[in-house]
Amino acid sequence: MNLKQFLKLKKISHADFAKNLNISPISLSRYIGGQRLPEKNILLKINDLTDGLVTPNDFYLFNEQELKLDSNKKKEIKNLANKIKLGNRKYLGKAITIIESSLKEDQIAAQFLLNEFRNNDNSIRIGITGVPGVGKSTFIESLGLKLIEKGLRVAVLAIDPSSKKSGGSILGDKTRMEKLSVNPDAFIRPSPSDGHLGGVAKKTSESILCLEESNFDIIFVETMGVGQAETAVYDMVDIFLLLLLPSGGDELQGIKKGIIELADLIIVNKADNDLKKQAEITQREYKNAISIKNNSSNKKIIDVLTCSSLELIGFDRIWQYIYKFIDERKKNQKFFANRQLQLSKWMWNNINLRTEEYIKKDLKDKTFVKKIQNDVENNSLTIVDASNIIFKYISKK
Ligand SMILES: Nc1nc2c(ncn2[C@@H]2O[C@H](COP(=O)(O)OP(=O)(O)OP(=O)(O)O)[C@@H](O)[C@H]2O)c(=O)[nH]1
Ligand SMILES: [Mg+2]
C-alpha cells in the first residue's frame, strides 16, 4: 500500500511520522504527494516503520500513476461508458479511439473506462485468418449479414496493416464490407496494426471488451495473416477459422506450420463457378491431411468445409458448425476455461507492451543508459556487461 493509505489506516499523523523518520513534515508531504522520491535510507526506514507494508516499489508505482483524471473528465468517461452500454455506435467508435491512443492522458482515461466494464460471456468471438485476398472481409460480410437476419448484432475488428508514414489505418476493409458497414446492427472498426505482433492491433482485447459492453453478440476479428498475428488472435477468440483458396495442385498451400493446428475449422472459400471443382479438391486434400493428424494424436478434431462468400453458398453449414462448437464448449466448460486462460495471456501481453513502451520512451533517454550505449559503441564495454547493468536497473525498479 502507499504511505498515505498506511498513515490513514493506522491513524498516524504526518507530523508524528515525519518525526520518527527524522525528516521535516514538508519533505514527508512531498514524498506522499509523489513530487519527490525518498533517498534509499529513508525508503528502507519507511519499510521498517510500516512493518513492510509500504515498500520502495510503492513509491515508484506512485510516480507512474501521477497523472490523474479530474472530476470533469471522470464524468465524461462515465457518460461515455453509459452510452456504450446503450449500444451507441458513435460513442463506441470514440471509446475505441481512446483505447487505441498512445497519449498518456488517453491511456489513463482508457483504464478508467475499462474499469467501468463488467466482463460477460454472452458473445461469441470469431477469429478469421488466411492469406491476403482469400476473401476474409467478404466472408465476414456475408456471414455477418446472415447472422443479423437471425436477429444478432455483429461487430468486426479488422486489423489493417498500418502505413508507418501516416501512422493511420488503410481502411481498405471498411469499403470492402459495404453492406455490413451501413447496417444499424453492425459495427466495423479497422485498426492499425502499427507493426505490432506482425499484424494485430495492440489494443484488440480491450476493444473486444468495449464491444461486449455494448452487447454485440458476434465479434469477428480479421487478421492480416502474417507473422505472429495468428497466435495473437487465437489467444483472443473462442473459435478460430482458417480460410483457404481453392488450389488444384496436390501440394498443400503455403500455410505456415502450426496454423492448421490452431484452426478450429478450415473453410475453402471461392467455391463458385470455375473454382468450384478446385475448391472441392482442396477440401479433400485437407480432409485427408487432417484425418491423418486426427488419428495420430489426441488433438482436437476439426472439419474442412467449402463456401462462396460472393454467392452466399455454404453458410448454413458453417454457422451450424460454429454454433455447435461453441455450444459444446459451453456445456463442457471449456469455453469459460479458455476465456479465463486468455485473461492471463492478456495480462502478460499488457506487461510486455508496457515494458516495450518503457524501454522506448523512458529508458533510452536516461543519461546513464546513453553513456553505456556509448561505451558499447566505443568497445569499452561488452554487450553482455552492458545488458547486465541495464537489466539489473530495470529489475530493481
Ligand atoms: N469468386 C469469388 N471471389 C471472392 C469470394 N470471396 C471474395 N472474393 C474476392 O476476392 C477478393 C479479395 O476479397 P477480400 O474479402 O478483400 O479478401 P481479404 O482476405 O479480406 O483480403 P485482405 O484483407 O487484403 O487480406 C475480392 O475481389 C473479392 O470479391 C468468393 O467467394 N468467390
Ligand atoms: Mg480484408
Which tens digits make up the pLDDT trace of 238-257? 999 999 999 854 455 555 66
Query: What per-residue confidence (pLDDT) applies to 242?
Result: 92
If we measure between CA atoms, which residue out of 220, 239, 237 comes closest to residue 324? 239
CA distance 25 to 56: 19
User: Which ligand 1 atom sits nearest the alpha carbon of residue 308?
Assistant: 31
The residue count of the chain comes to: 397
CA distance 113 to 311: 41
| Residue whose CB lies within 8 A of the most ligand 1 atoms, among 179, 230, 310, 311, for a mutation test | 310
Kindly report the pTM of this predicted structure: 0.78
Q: Which residues contact 250 (CB under 8 A, 6 or more apart)?
A: 285
Q: Which ligand is nearest to the CA of 139?
A: 1
Query: What per-residue confidence (pLDDT) applies to 255?
Result: 59
| Residue whose CB lies within 8 A of the most ligand 1 atoms, among 176, 181, 243, 247, for a mutation test | 176
Would you say 315 and 306 are in contact if contact means Cβ atoms under 8 Å apart? no
Query: What per-residue confidence (pLDDT) applies to 67?
Result: 58
* pLDDT averaged over 10-residue windows placed end to end, the chain, 397 residues: 87 93 91 81 91 81 60 92 92 93 87 87 94 91 97 90 45 67 92 57 86 96 72 91 78 63 92 95 87 60 93 97 96 95 88 84 86 91 90 80
Find the 183 Cα to ligand 2 centroid distance in Å.
18
Find the 280 Cα to ligand 2 centroid distance in Å.
23
If we measure between CA atoms, which residue out of 215, 146, 210, 137 comes closest to residue 177? 137
Query: What per-residue confidence (pLDDT) applies to 292?
Result: 61
Query: 124-335 adopts what CATH topology?
Result: Rossmann fold (3.40.50)
Which sequence spans correspond to the domains of the chain?
Answer: 3-64, 71-115, 124-335, 343-396
> CATH number of the domain at 71-115, out of 1.25.40, 1.20.5, 1.10.287, 3.30.70?
1.20.5
Cell of 41: 535510507
Cell of 125: 468471438
CA distance 128 to 222: 5
Q: Is domain 3-64 given the CATH code 1.10.260 in the classification?
A: yes
Which tens digits make up the pLDDT trace of 323-334? 999 999 999 999
What residues flank ligand 1, with Cβ below 6 Å? 130, 132-138, 173, 176, 269-270, 272, 308-310
Distance of CA 158 to the CA centre of its chain: 13
Nearest CA residue ID for atom 7, ligand 1: 135
Query: What per-residue confidence (pLDDT) applies to 265?
Result: 95
